[in-house]
Chain A
Amino acid sequence: DIQMTQSPSTLSASVGDRVTITCRASQSITNWLAWYQQKPGKAPKVLIFKASSLESGVPSRFSGSGSGTEFTLTISSLQPDDFATYYCQQYNSYPLTFGGGTKVEIK
């Protein structure tokens, strides 16, 4: 199984900050990676697919990069609505696997 490791697990930031979350795969997944945002009590929402493609309707302050085993999600200017937990997911092979999550908190 492919293990997905996210860092950090918690991140404290202020509105307007540039935020970067890292996801590492235990083996190459080429670019078959998605990023999700989840708020308490709600279902996840896809932000990025295929490592760097922005899902329709998602603000352009979100961006993704990387390939192979190293990936990043960047929020260029953190907004109040962005305080949430973020997960990466590989869909290169089954079983599909998620990272452990990164909680973005208000500093």
Chain B
Amino acid sequence: EVQLVESGGGLVQPGGSLRLSCAASGFTFSSNDMHWVRQATGEGLEWVSGIGTTGDIHYIDSVKGRFTISRENAKNSLYLQMNSLRAGDTAVYYCAKKVWGAGMDVWGQGTTVTVSS
């Protein structure tokens, strides 16, 4: 079964750090672009970051310099290191797989990040 499972979310104070993980199974992880998408409560979807099969990396402006995306193909895992967290980063974070030329066809169940004092 093709599956993505996120972990690592939680409650953190402003300025704190969290590391999200996404464990992939059921497909060739190394052959797919991977992305993080977030959604604040009651709000729409916001793409956060993506990493390609060749290691090319992209971020939304609001997280540049604070978040770092990485992948470990040997472990079929995607990560998002989040530093200097702000209240505005509070959201459910989804990891998603994307095939070139197509949409994000597999999503995890999401992990909740709450930034609050």
Contacts and interface: CB of A to CB of B under 8 A. Distances in A.
A100 B107 contact: no
A100 B43 CA distance: 8
| Chain B, interface residues (CB within 8 Å), range | 20 to 34
Prevailing SS type, chain B contact patch:
strand
Nearest to A97: B47
A25 interface: no
| Chain A, interface residues (CB within 8 Å), range | 20 to 34
B110 A49 contact: no
Contacts of A45: 107
Given A44-B45, A87-B45, A96-B35, A55 B110 contact: no
Interface in B32-46: 35, 37, 44-46
Nearest to B103: A34
Nearest to B110: A43
Interface of B: 35, 37, 44-47, 50, 58-61, 94, 96, 98, 101-105, 107-110
Interface of A: 1, 32, 34-36, 38, 43-46, 48-50, 53, 55, 87, 89, 91, 94-101
